[in-house]
Structure 1
């Protein structure tokens, strides 16, 4: 029986998956873990990934016949064998101490249901962009359902991939809900808050990469809408009102079907590249020029990209 089950959803980019899996194999201590990799969309691992998966029996590959991350995560969590479930995304990496640190605090606090930590946000080539933390974090578990419902919960979860939670609490609240194609994490956090305490460990235990073609880059508008609906559902539950209409609205927020035209531009990818470029520019990092070039290639009609790209020339 493993101590922790790590759940990863994947549908593309086997090269990014390899680095993520290697960070798991570098975990410190004698903690027993398993990793459930849920593939959908016809994902095929490359030779390097295949060799790793065959060499280490702690990795299990599951096939999901339904699209989207939510279905993949629900399948992985349903197959998890351990009492704790840790999340990680393709392309990201755990610090060597993450599983040991989070497992230990669960062992010390039986009422703890969710643990998170500081997260380092990086570009595609691990360029440091920022660190998401909580200045007031003490590393001690606390109840987070102590604020008015309209304010959500009394803690910020820096990133979905930073979290470990108890499986029994996850099951008690109904797990990930399929109404949320995007942003399924905050809907779960609001519901888990009623089950016990949360903790934020004030140290970087997860490193997250942003890609111009990644989910967060391409669908931040949808995620923002879902975040508002998740909070509205939380308020409805706290005041005894039904969530039905809100869940119907959430279920209607889906990705647009891919264009049949093979166009050389892509406004959403341009925005993702621009976000990375501008974060680097503000730090005086010359590597921003590469991403401004990508942003202009895919979104040449967007004025702000031209303006900031021109500002970046000062770094030369």
Structure 2
């Protein structure tokens, strides 16, 4: 029966995504799991989003606010939620029909897991798959030290986790999810489901494709790394890795400055990384720097070619 299923509250913050939002909403409404509290927070949209939201069933809780950003929208949504489990879904991503049922079942069966997330396929603006199985298992050390986060759409976590660590940090606009998962990962296991249960959309309006953000936002990765090691959640087992982590965060910033064409800032970040830990300037880091300057319009074709090569090998 419906009442026997734990309630999951899923929040979608949205801003001017009328083109993609209906497909996102349909993917939630078509879930096989039937006890979902779906909350959409309209963050001051000026396109046709408002008109579309007005057509939805009352079963979807719609909140509206003046434009304040994704973090504020998520905070409002989670603040209005009542579920045992919480999650979020971007307004251009898609959940496959059994996603919530599979992930909730896992957390119910694994009490030591504090969160779980599925594998994903990357799709373009037309819904065409450009990369299959883009997810990887979670590693707190890899996230904190190597600055690699593979948690994509469909991630859910326990309300007790939210109560313990708090939500996304309003000081960040580019890296709030990364900083959040650092805190969550200190509480227990974040389990990866290798089954593809979600679709992550990349398009010209997303940072994953454009990659062009302000220098201030690029430097958020450095601030996040330093904050983590100076904060209350960092485990003793990672504290000795602070220099390498901050060095790698500077390399992430360097990639952003390189994309922006700000070579002085790029060089400064590289030198800072070397000062913190010379070992950070390795072949892997150099390869990432090279990829950072690939024109955005070529990234999807290259991803499709890589995907074809992997399938044929």
Deviation at 1:41, TM superposition (A): 2.2
State the Cα deviation string for residues 224-250 of structure 1 (Å, max 9, x = none).
53233322222222378xxxxx9xxxx
Q: State which of 16, 23, 27 in structure 2 corresponds to 1:23.
A: 27
Deviations 1:191-227 (A, max 9, x none): 1112221100001111011121234444554565323
Distance 1:112 1:220 in 2: 35
Q: Check conservation: 1:149, 1:234, Cα contact below 8 A.
A: no
Q: How far apart, in 2, do the equivalents of 1:85 and 1:16 lie?
A: 22
Q: Please state how far the C-alpha of 1:115 moved relative to its aligned partner.
A: 0.7
TM normalised by structure 1 equals: 0.67
Are 1:35 and 2:28 an aligned pair? no
Could you list the per-position Cα deviations for residues 135-157 of structure 1 after superposition, in whole angstroms to 9, with x for gaps in the alignment?
xx4xxxx8x55x4996269x843
Match of 1:190 in 2: 182
Find the counterpart in structure 2 of residue 258 from structure 1.
none
Aligned mates of 1:18, 1:35 — CA distance in 2: 14
- Deviation at residue 27 of structure 1 after TM alignment: 0.8
Alignment partner, residue 111 of structure 1? 112
Give the 3 Å change call, closer, same or farther, for CA 148–207 of structure 1 in structure 2. Answer: closer
Shift of 1:81: 0.8
* Mapping of residues 151-162 of structure 1, within 5 Å: 151=145, 156-159=149-152, 161-162=153-154
Once the two structures are TM-superposed, the CA of residue 6 in structure 1 deviates from its matched residue by 0.8
Candidates 1, 7, 19, aligned match of 2:11 = 7
Work out whether residues 8 and 37 of structure 1, in 8 Å CA contact, stay in contact via their aligned partners in 2.
yes
Residue matched to 1:83: 84
Which of 283, 292, 298 is 2:304 aligned to?
283
C-alpha distance 112-211 of structure 1, shift in aligned 2 (>3 A): same
3-state SS of paired residue (1:205): strand
User: Which runs of no fewer than 5 residues in structure 2 stay unpaired?
Assistant: 240-245, 247-252, 254-291, 307-313
Q: Do structure 1's residue 233 and structure 2's residue 227 form an aligned pair?
A: yes
Unmatched runs of 5 consecutive residues or more in structure 1:
241-245, 247-252, 254-270, 286-316
Q: Deviations over 1:294-315 (max 9, x none)?
A: xxxxxxxxxxxxxxxxxxxxxx
CA–CA distance in structure 1, aligned partners of residues 103 and 20 of structure 2: 24
Local SS of the residue matching 1:13 = coil
Indicate conservation of the 8 Å contact 1:150/1:235, yes or no: no
Distance 1:282 1:230 in 2: 29
8 Å contact from structure 1 (residues 10, 39) kept in 2: yes
The alignment status of 1:133 with 2:127, answered yes or no, reads no
SS at match of 2:61: strand
Seen in structure 2, the aligned counterparts of structure 1 residues 216 and 226 have a Cα distance that, compared at 3 Å, is farther
Give the structure-2-normalised TM-score.
Answer: 0.68
Distance 1:81 1:219, change over 3 A: farther
CA distance, structure 2, for counterparts of residue 214 and residue 13 of structure 1: 11
Whole-angstrom CA distance in 2 between matches of 1:274 and 1:148 = 27
Q: Is the 8 A contact 1:28 1:97 kept in 2?
A: yes
Q: Which residue of 2 aligns with 1:173?
A: 165
Relative to structure 1, is the Cα distance of residues 172 and 278 closer, same or farther in structure 2, using a 3 angstrom cutoff?
Answer: closer
